[in-house]
Amino acid sequence: MKVDMKKLFAISLIIITSFTIFAQTNTPPALSSIKIEDLKKDLYAHADGHFKGRSAGTLDELKAAAWLAEQYKAIGLKPAGDDGTYFQFFNMWRNHLTDNSTISINNKPYTLWKDAAVAQMANVNINAPILYLGNALDIDTSINVKDRLVAIVADPKGINMQVSLPTWRYSRSVYTKYGLPLVRKGAKAVIFIADETAEKAWEDASENFLRGNYDIDGGPNVNVNTTVPVIWVHANVKKELETNNATLKANLIISKYAYPSVNVVGKIDGTDAKLKSEYLLYSSHTDAHGVRNEIKGDTIYYGADDNGSVTVAMLANARAFIKYPAKRSVLFVVHGAEERGLLGSRYYSQHPTVPIKNIVAVLNGDMIGRNNIDSATFLGMFSPHKNSTDLVNMALAANNEGPKFKLDTEWDKTTHVEGWYFRSDHLPYARLGIPSIMYTTLLHPDYHTPQDNAENINYPKLKKMADWMYRTGWKVANADKRPATDIGFKLER
Ligand SMILES: [Zn+2]
């Protein structure tokens, strides 16, 4: 057989050249298998109206979880949930006010949520006069409020409204600033009379109140532990209350029951006989905000960026690791009920399906598909949130080698108003001392609205983020030594 020397030379040159490029740029081997088309196709499916906003505890979240498990299977992930499945089901406890709860003022019945909204639940049966204290700013602190039902007019002064979701947060801020001091002095109920800001926030706020509280066993909201209800009424009720001879009758009944949620867990075995018992964990969440108040003609809160963007980036990373497995095993956990208080990640970190000590790092992401294509960040980069200098250095190197994002450094500061480090699924793992970071492209005006949809995602940017997560993950999963947890790391808010 005749050997074509010219051809052989050409082939060896190509091999040598690609090997050199490979070594120089640290490009992980399956980078090209992360494709914009896949990200787009997956996100349009996962954030489709069919799943009705994937609200935690509903059939919609479970359906979306089943869809995810199908993708895991198609990609070739091994089941790593309970009983040889991709699923780890868990119970949430939900407390909410029953529909037969009643409120009336001066014997006039108020329609729950429309005329009166209960911001803080309590199992109470009250029939007592209301003590009117005037505007929140002018409360006479010498008045004895012990065992009294007090009414005050809300005021936004001194409350920072330059935050995300101001309409979701206003009532809580007003309560903390003006209501809580009265409760500490013994007030038995607080009635807030809505100001202009609260009137604007009414629909969003009562939508959240009526859903109630959710928690898992061991959490602070499993039982409603206050006996002091907080009730909001509209601005026009002021004239009835300011005469100071009005009476409140309230019969509030809390219903508590178990509600299902699920983590979707798959894995890819490592290739190294020893290191395969260790796991790199990729983290996202399934749930979004369901069907709610209409905004710009739509009622489905699709959660495409939050957090479909990360979920589909994980699927893309999974395809890459299937193509070229790493030395360590890789675990993919899409958590349930993140929006209800990081419940899925709190549950998984307490009931891990692999030995918790063998999880070497957590790469979590929350919202990675919006804003300028040149900038992004990860939280956990700076102390006191930074818990592993090794992991931070890997993520920084991966950025330099690949997407070269200009990294935001403001959002990881403890002084940042959003306190965002504490608001996503890496947190329960970080609290256990596992090296953890959270990728993000930060907030945008469509956050928690129906306009957080698949059409509004910046797909070339989402690909850059998926690349970055893969580059980091490849380093973590192949490093000779697992990233160390910084000595003395302690999370303080
Ligand atoms: Zn999220």
How far apart CA 463 and CA 473 sit, in angstroms, is 15
Distance from Cα 144 to the centre of ligand 1, integer Å: 44
| Nearest partner of 57 among 337, 425, 341, 342, judged by Cα | 337
Amino acid 4: pLDDT = 52
Token look-up 């198609």 returns: 74
Distance from Cα 333 to the centre of ligand 1, integer Å: 14
SS (H, E, C) the chain: CCCCHHHHHHHHHHHHHHHHHHHHHCCCCCHHHCCHHHHHHHHHHHCCHHHCCCECCCHHHHHHHHHHHHHHHHHCCEECCCCCCCEEEEEEEEEEECCCCEEEECCEEECECCCEEEEECCCEEEEEEEEEEEEHHHCCCCCCCCCCEEEEECCCCCCCCCCCCHHHHHHHHHHHHHHHHHHHCCCCEEEEECCHHHHHHHHHHHHHHHHCEEECCCCCCCCCCCCCCEEEECHHHHHHHCCCCCEEEEEECEEEEEEEEEEEEEEECCCCCCHHHCEEEEEEECCECEEEEEECCEEEECCHHHHHHHHHHHHHHHHHHHHCCCCCEEEEEEECCHHHCCHHHHHHHHCCCCCHHHEEEEEEECCCCCCCCCEEEEECCCCCCCCCHHHHHHHHHHHHHCCCCEECCCCCCCCCCCCHHHHCCCHHHHHCCCCEEEEECCCCCCCCCCCCCHHHCCHHHHHHHHHHHHHHHHHHHHCCCCCCCCCCCCCCC
Distance from Cα 129 to the centre of ligand 1, integer Å: 43
Distance from Cα 289 to the centre of ligand 1, integer Å: 10
Distance from Cα 260 to the centre of ligand 1, integer Å: 19
**Rg of the chain in Å (alpha carbons):** 26
Distance from Cα 71 to the centre of ligand 1, integer Å: 21
Amino acid 1: pLDDT = 44
C-alpha count within 13 angstroms, C-beta hemisphere, residue 314 = 36
Distance from Cα 431 to the centre of ligand 1, integer Å: 19
Distance from Cα 303 to the centre of ligand 1, integer Å: 8
How far apart CA 320 and CA 28 sit, in angstroms, is 9
Amino acid 492: pLDDT = 67
Amino acid 25: pLDDT = 58
Amino acid 169: pLDDT = 87
Distance from Cα 356 to the centre of ligand 1, integer Å: 23
Mean pLDDT by 10 residues, the chain (493 residues): 49 48 70 98 98 97 98 98 98 96 98 96 96 94 95 91 80 92 96 94 90 94 92 96 95 96 98 98 98 96 98 98 98 98 98 98 98 98 96 98 97 91 97 97 95 98 98 98 93 68
Question: Could you tell me if 290 and 214 are in contact, meaning their C-beta atoms sit under 8 angstroms apart?
Answer: no
Token look-up 């129906």 returns: 450
Distance from Cα 338 to the centre of ligand 1, integer Å: 7
How far apart CA 444 and CA 305 sit, in angstroms, is 10
Distance from Cα 346 to the centre of ligand 1, integer Å: 15
Distance from Cα 366 to the centre of ligand 1, integer Å: 5
Amino acid 300: pLDDT = 98
Distance from Cα 424 to the centre of ligand 1, integer Å: 6
Distance from Cα 169 to the centre of ligand 1, integer Å: 17
- pTM score: 0.90
State residue 49 phi and psi, 5-degree precision.
-60, -20
Distance from Cα 309 to the centre of ligand 1, integer Å: 10
| Nearest partner of 110 among 232, 211, 245, judged by Cα | 232
Distance from Cα 211 to the centre of ligand 1, integer Å: 18
Distance from Cα 26 to the centre of ligand 1, integer Å: 31
Distance from Cα 178 to the centre of ligand 1, integer Å: 30
Question: Could you tell me if 248 and 130 are in contact, meaning their C-beta atoms sit under 8 angstroms apart?
Answer: yes
